[in-house]
Amino acid sequence: MLYQYNTKYDEPLEKAFMNDPFYASNSFDYKKQLADVTSQWLMEREKWCLFFSFTFKDEVSKEKVYREIKRLIRFANEIKYGKHYTQKVHHSYFSYVCGLERQERGVLHFHMCIDREIDFNWVHSYWKCRNGFAWIEKIEDLPNSLRYTVKYAVKEGECLIYLK
């Protein structure tokens, strides 16, 4: 039986998974439930407050996306704690979950939720100067923001999670 905090999932999905796990893991229902379970788990771990969408003006590789995510996180930490921030906060002063997806035009972009405040103006100018467009908003509907971030990671199999 598949359960999430005493919630029984659809019987057909359960049977499909038992009969043919390779089919079930590629099914829409399974991916939706996996995104729901993951977003619920993340909701209980941190107090997420900001939702980001980062786009690239040009087509980029996954390696470039990951380099830019890491660079953004590193610079945000350096601004707050200086060049030797890892001695104070290790990897980052904020927790994050980051889901990667392709836009309709085929270019990769990613969504990110973090649990601490960050300078909006700095993020916008930094991202615009280097890559494209950044959209930032305070999270009003936490379940939907996390589910949206995670659903593309489940769909395309790309997710970065760092919890303090």
pLDDT at position 26 is 59
pLDDT, tens digit (0-9, with 9 covering 90-100), for 32-91: 777 888 888 888 889 999 999 999 999 999 899 999 999 999 999 999 999 999 999 989
d(CA 150, CA 147): 5
CATH class of the domain at 50-162: alpha beta
pTM over 0.85: no
Q: Is 109 helix (H, G, I), strand (E, B) or coil?
A: strand
The letter for the amino acid at 46 is E
d(CA 7, CA 112): 27
Per the listing, tokens 């890491």 go with: 70
pLDDT confidence bin for 15, thresholds 50/70/90: low
Reading the block at residue 122, the tokens are 């700095």
What are 3's strand-pairing partners? 8
The letter for the amino acid at 74 is R
Fill in the DSSP letter of residue 9.
Answer: P
Left (φ > 0), alpha (ψ -120 to 50) or beta: where does 83 sit? alpha
pLDDT at position 74 is 95
pLDDT at position 7 is 44
All CATH 3.30.70 domain ranges of the chain, comma separated, are: 50-162
Decide if 45 contacts 31 (C-beta within 8 A): no
Other beta carbons within 10 Å of 25: 12
pLDDT, tens digit (0-9, with 9 covering 90-100), for 93-152: 999 999 888 888 888 889 999 999 999 999 999 999 999 999 999 999 888 888 888 887
- The region of weakest confidence among 30-34, 90-94, 154-158 is 154-158
Reading the block at residue 157, the tokens are 């199999």
Q: Tell me: pLDDT of 24 over 80.
A: no
